[in-house]
Amino acid sequence: MDVLLDIAEPGQSPLPHEARPEDQRRVVGIDLGTTFSLVAAIGLDGKPICIPDAQGRVSLASMVYFGTGEEILVGAQAQALAWQDPKRTISSVKRFMGRGLDDIQKDGFHYPYDFYAGAGGMVQIGIDQRLFSPVEISAEILKALKYRAEEALGGSLYGVVITVPAYFDDAQRQATKDAGRLAGLEVLRLVNEPTAAALAYGLDQAREGIYAIYDLGGGTFDISILKLTQGVFQVLSTGGDTALGGDDFDRCLSSLFLNEMGLEAPTAQQIRAAMDGARAVKEALTCSSTAVASIFCGEETPFQRSINREEFNDLIRPLVHKTGFSCRRALKDAGVTVEDLTGVVLVGGSTRVPLVREFVAQLFQCTPLCDLDPDQVVALGAAHQADLLAGNDRSGLLLLDVNPLSLGIETMGGLVEKIIPRNSTIPTARAQEFTTFKDGQGAMAIHVVQGERELADQCRSLARFELRGIPPMVAGAARILVTYQIDADGLLTVSAVEQTTKMAQSIAVKPSYGLSDDQIEQMLREALAHGEQDWMARLLSEARVEAQRALSSAGAALKVDGDLLNAKELGVVKQAMRHLLESSQGEDYEKINQSLKELDQATQFFAERRMDRTIRAGMAGRNITEFE
């Protein structure tokens, strides 16, 4: 049967709901990233594709701006306000998921936010008189991606797969799942980011063998060793660092800039400006050998600093080499050597840094694979897994993931008895028998911990409960069977049964950093009651912010290069600007967006002339051979 080629207009999704089979459930995969987030779905050709926004951008900046009222902006609109209002613009929130105030303070970096210890131990960020948890902030990012997906797919979503760093512990995984629920999403499963990348590569390339997945994103690093055989993706081992990524490269540079500027106690705006300048330099040095940082901190003349790639490499080399420890350990845990590997897959935008690629090639003694966009590959793999879980794809692909850290129980003397070792294939259940320590002991305290240390107080405490009703016996006579069960999301349930009386007790381990069910239910009720109204208000606010940005840019361009236009052309541009200004004062966001397009069209020729002038100025007095 002939198949028509589907052609999408620029800025539109190639996922029209009209062409979707009726029995296909609408599911997506979401890469909830530290710096950028993406949403992907299976396209009409059966292959995964990242869904763009109305402007054709597939990446959503993982930034949320909280206004003075109820205004909340996400993505590019929030990013545009980051320097102007850094305390209200939250970025890299993924770094705060499932972490307490002490954890954040140990980072040793001056964040431009006011942190507080929240209920249950989770850190909260204060804005005015309000407190926001990382779960609530992440939910705003997920809501924006949900809206984008539903617009593209033509209806509400059946479910979603959200990816998490392989080394996220139970608290961080639960916080991610809570954020999905708060955003109104049915979370089908949490999937490790390296595993999602392997899904994308394995399905697209049909390569079998043992692979190392080196995943360096904005805020986290993961390394996984996977075996791909006849449709089975088995994770052999995993490791990493949930507080190491491209953001740390930026911090090395920004700290250098702030020190050279003589700022011992920089303000929130100065920190944000330095971070933005550092990120721009890092990205420029990916393709160039030198770059110039220009940092505006309120002065008329910006701080400028030229930096070359060698100097940048010296700054970040300790961080890059730090990833090697996790890599070597993961290889040892998997029982393989570098020679056993079929290849190495690069994932995450930070793997574009030349030093990182050089280090990976040297460490694994092979040229890394980067066939797919490292920024998109995780979302693409998550879309595959979502399609499988929804029953849309019946290819029979089997995904065998692992738990990243050992799960154990505290025994006498504060020791840890590991019940489920790290890198155990999940879902799984394991049981072990314990007994009483004293004669006549009628209860046993069960303390669930996670980690690799030998003492309980050196591991993370996950839960405590008591098994009561143990019949009086001499010490050592009672037999208590403790069972640990991990589901496909890596979340834990613990039960204890006294074998003689069959007295039982169990607990679904809810980490102290997660939201309670009552809190989530209350937030969901509020979101449901005001959902449509809130979303329409957001669309209007986003359009107004974009209009303000466009008017400001156009005005500045006219001030500098207005002489490039004749009177008629100048009149056309100013008329489009007036039209946009009038539209932005109204309540119709669609009208504002239309006026934005009209201004863009009216200034295209102006932008081309400005570029020509810049190029001519740069080449003045230079020989063409200098550019060969």
Range 299-303 contact pairs with CB under 8 angstroms and sequence separation of 24 or more: 303/257, 303/260, 303/261
Task: Single out the catalytic residue among 193, 387, 489, 542.
Answer: 193
Round to whole Å and give the CA distance between 59 and 37. 6
Task: Single out the catalytic residue among 85, 169, 215, 498.
Answer: 215
Round to whole Å and give the CA distance between 243 and 542. 31
Round to whole Å and give the CA distance between 20 and 46. 11
H or E, element range at 151: helix 134-153
> Bridge partners of 416?
410
SS3 state at 569: helix
In contact, 188 and 420? CB cutoff 8 Å: no
Name residue, tokens 């106690």: 265
Name residue, tokens 């996400």: 74
Measured from the Cβ of residue 45, the count of other Cβ atoms closer than 10 Å reads 11
CA distances from residue 27 to 47, 158, 398, 596 in whole angstroms, order as listed: 13, 6, 18, 32
CA atoms within 13 A of residue 8's CA, in its CB half-sphere: 17
> Bridge partners of 495?
483, 506
Instruction: Please report the DSSP string for 12-25 in residue order.
Output: S-S--GGGS-TT--
In contact, 194 and 326? CB cutoff 8 Å: no
Q: Is 71 a catalytic residue?
A: no
CA distances from residue 64 to 56, 67, 90, 248, 616 in whole angstroms, order as listed: 20, 10, 5, 20, 40
Measured from the Cβ of residue 128, the count of other Cβ atoms closer than 10 Å reads 10
- Pull the structure tokens for residue 73: 């902006």
In contact, 142 and 32? CB cutoff 8 Å: yes
Task: Single out the catalytic residue among 31, 85, 140, 248.
Answer: 31
Helices (H) and strands (E) in the chain, counts: 14, 28
Q: Is 250 a catalytic residue?
A: no
Give me the amino acid identity at 108: G
* Ordered alpha helix ranges (H), 456-588: 517-561, 567-584
Task: Single out the catalytic residue among 87, 94, 146, 227.
Answer: 94
Q: Is 215 a catalytic residue?
A: yes
Q: Is 193 a catalytic residue?
A: yes
Q: Which residues are catalytic?
A: 31, 94, 193, 215
